[in-house]
Amino acid sequence: MGDMAQRGVQVQYHSPCWNAYCGGPSCNTSAPIGSNTTILNKSAVEAALERMIVAPLQHGFLGGVALDECCGGPWLNNGMEQVAKAAYRKARAAFPSMQLHAWTSDPWLIGDLMADGTVDLALIEAYTYCPGCGDWPNSTDCCGSTIEYYFRLLDYAQANGFINRTVVCYGYILGRSPLNPNGWTEASLRATMLRVKARYPELRGVAMYGMSPGRGMGRPLDMSDVATMQMIRAANMLMLELYPD
């Protein structure tokens, strides 16, 4: 990591958000994680979630921590969200200068964390091409099919004063080819990014989410998928062009 830091690359630790943790005797784990698992010891769970942030920082992840999937779901019914938020606020108090980012498709669930400065950046999962995930595109359980589907998320960030601390993540960055006939082209990605930039000029920036080249999810890396390799390069160039800061 030291070499990457010298090159100006920040390494972030990837940590689960409230929907992905309930472990040990502090929880009744007879129900699957992500369901209405009963929290038996909220203070122990809170301490464990706090350690998930603090420990990486203590071990040199100076780029900070990214909380994954701070989203809605049945786990909200058991109070896990509020337990996690208390842990995140304690971690912020212990490391006031850290970078804490939250991946979400439900920004209203992190609005309070954005308002009080616990979370620095909201990373919006605005994926419009997710072949192989659930029954997409027959439903939007995995992702929408157009970027306009996500405008309500960005409208919320704008209305609540944190659009300038919001990053839109496009995906999955798979190039159009016989393997992925509905995949991205440089022109389609550019047009999508320009629509978002025109509507939300205050956006902090953009990100790209990729999958292994091939048909849909869970397939091995296919180095013959030249279209995806080219799209990865094109996506990098578009980010630099449209968001030079």
pLDDT in tens, 83-104: 889 999 999 998 898 899 999 9
- Residue 198, C-beta contacts closer than 8 angstroms, at least 6 positions apart: none
What is the structure's pLDDT at 214?
A: 52
**In the prediction, which pLDDT does 210 show?**
80
Stretch among 68-82, 147-161, 206-220 having the lowest mean pLDDT: 206-220
What is the third-level CATH fold of 10-242? TIM Barrel (3.20.20)
Averaged pLDDT, 122-133: 91
Q: Domain limits of the chain?
A: 10-242
Per-residue pLDDT band at 198 (split at 50, 70, 90): very high
**Residues 109, 80: Cα–Cα separation, whole Å:** 12
Q: Give me the residues paired with residue 102 across strands.
A: 67, 122
pTM of the model: 0.87
φ/ψ of 65, rounded to 5, equals -130, 140
| pLDDT level of residue 77 (50, 70, 90 thresholds) | low
